[in-house]
Amino acid sequence: MTGPHRPAWAEISRGALKRNLRRLVNRARPAQILPVIKANAYGHGLAAVGRLLQAEGVFSVAVALVREGVALRFEGFRGRILLIEPLLPRDVPEAMKHRLTPQVSSLEEARRLNTTARRAGLTRFKVQVEVDTGMGRVGFRPEDLLRDYPRLVRLPNLGVEAFYTHLATADWSDGAYAKKQIALFHALRDKLAPHSPADLPAPLWHLANSAALLGKIPGTQGDWMRPGLALYGVAPNPRLGHALGLEPVMTLKASILQVKRIAKGDSVGYNRTFIAKRPMKIAVLSAGYADGVHRSLSNKGSCLVRGRKVPLVGTICMDMCMADVTRVPNVKAGDVAVLFGKSGRASLPVEEQALAAGTIPYELLCAVGERVERVYV
């Protein structure tokens, strides 16, 4: 059986997504959850995931782009949409029009937002302040924030709703560094607290990513927690995932287009990177790097065919890839292969495929191409 419209498709389990959400909500309590659904909800489909989250009572989400926030509004998402990437000046009016919540990383940005808010007749337009405590990406440097915060809070048309920071060690590979970031963040909050306007609620705070939430890292609970990867049932670090029993949400499937026998010495695919050492049976799959099967999986990755894990052989093409099915009986064109996820009782975790590709599961999930239809089950 093949997918409905295209020979490669991604099955998204709504049930798994809901159950993961429940697990994370319970884990985070009393903090609220602010799921990160940037990059098309890590490839799972922004619109469908946004609708599901809203139906499950989630009020706040985070995305990177104004375009993503606007798409969510068109889907009817009414809650808070935090933009975790700084706004380009030309996007400010659009963000305000759709009541998206920008992060601010500099006084200059805050002033620009203030001006646009004033022109739009908005008072206390809500923003969140990001602090760079060690990620080395966006956000105020701590010393800059200490200097600029008193001026920032006096901008009459803005209201600082929250402070947040982002941990550099998403996979919890360096706990000591994360602890330093966490301590620095709290020290800053303490120093800034007296400067917050008395007539506004005290700013809220958040800093947890999936790893911090799963690992219950002290000092990360905050008012919100911002899991991304964990929501999709994938652990940034296998040790952290299993504790909560998260379930993978996505299974990437492709149809087998042809099965052929090749002789010893024959090659498979571009540049002849695979030469058969003996007679073999090769299956051609209808997914390639344009669908999210990384080219770095050439001769390294695997797939599931008829419940068995078999190696990908030859160079991954744009639309197709090939697998060695010599040992799998009865394979025929029209069968379904799984590039990651589940196939009956067999499973090929995206974490494992990512390791073979020399990358992280995040990248394999969001690499799943636009032309791969998402089928919600």
Which chain residues interact with ligand PLP by CB under 6 A?
A: 36, 84, 166, 170, 209-210, 226-230, 236
Query: With respect to ligand PLP, which residue has the nearer C-beta, 228 or 314?
Result: 228
Residue 245: how many CA atoms within 13 Å on its side-chain side?
Answer: 6
Q: Is 42 a catalytic residue?
A: no
Minimum CB–partner distance for residue 313 and ligand PLP (Å)? 32
Minimum CB–partner distance for residue 228 and ligand PLP (Å)? 3
CA distance 122 to 100: 13
Minimum CB–partner distance for residue 184 and ligand PLP (Å)? 16
Q: Do the strands 80-83 and 101-104 form a parallel or antiparallel pair, or are they unpaired? A: parallel
Question: Please, what is the Cα angle at 21 between 377 and 104, to 5 degrees?
Answer: 115
Backbone angles phi, psi at 36, to 5 degrees: -95, 115
Query: With respect to ligand PLP, which residue has the nearer C-beta, 232 or 274?
Result: 232
Percentages helix, strand, coil for the chain, rounded to the nearest 5? 35, 25, 40
Query: With respect to ligand PLP, which residue has the nearer C-beta, 221 or 315?
Result: 221
Minimum CB–partner distance for residue 151 and ligand PLP (Å)? 24
**Residue 285 near residue 340, CB atoms below 8 Å:** no
Query: With respect to ligand PLP, which residue has the nearer C-beta, 363 or 373?
Result: 363
- Please give the full DSSP string across 15-77, using - where no structure is assigned: HHHHHHHHHHHHHHTTSEE--B-HHHHHTT-HHHHHHHHHHTT--EEEES-HHHHHHHHHTT-
Catalytic residue among 18, 38, 332, 362: 38
Catalytic residue among 42, 270, 300, 342: 270
**Tokens of residue 242, six digits:** 């299993």
Query: What separation, in Å, do the N-terminal and C-terminal C-alpha atoms of the chain show?
Result: 15
Minimum CB–partner distance for residue 189 and ligand PLP (Å)? 17
Q: Which residues contact 186 (CB under 8 A, 6 or more apart)?
A: 219
CA distance 337 to 255: 6
Closest chain position to ligand PLP (CB): 228
Q: Which residues contact 52 (CB under 8 A, 6 or more apart)?
A: 14, 17, 18
Query: With respect to ligand PLP, which residue has the nearer C-beta, 130 or 148?
Result: 130
Minimum CB–partner distance for residue 236 and ligand PLP (Å)? 5
Query: With respect to ligand PLP, which residue has the nearer C-beta, 227 or 269?
Result: 227
Q: Is 149 a catalytic residue?
A: no
Query: With respect to ligand PLP, which residue has the nearer C-beta, 88 or 333?
Result: 88
Q: Do the strands 32-33 and 224-225 form a parallel or antiparallel pair, or are they unpaired? A: parallel
Minimum CB–partner distance for residue 245 and ligand PLP (Å)? 17
> What are the residue numbers of the active site?
38, 270
